Amino acid sequence: ALHRQPNTAAQYLQQMYAAQQQHLMLQTAALQQQHLTSAQLQSLAAVQQASLAANRQSGSSGGNGAQPAPAQQPTVSPST
């Protein structure tokens, strides 16, 4: 059961990422049909690129799921 959780989380993130990409493509197509100016479309594209880049950083973990936090090492102070 413990091995299944990270895979489920990774699949969920992938599904959310795919759904967001599809939503952005549909949104872009709808905006293009409204004859936006080139500057507005470029601005929209920049926002979408930033959003997708942020999702890749937070959502993808190389297929390993969530990484456990490193164990804290006790600090040893030198005796005088």
Separation CA 47–CA 10 (nearest Å): 24
In this structure, are residues 24 and 48 in contact, taking their beta carbons and an 8 Å threshold?
Answer: yes
pLDDT tens per residue, range 6-32: 678 888 999 999 999 999 999 888 877
pLDDT tens per residue, range 44-58: 888 888 888 888 777
Nearest residue to 59 via CA among 13, 9, 2: 13
CA 59-41-17 angle, 5° bins: 15
User: How is residue 16 written in tokens?
Assistant: 């959310």
Nearest residue to 23 via CA among 1, 69, 55: 55
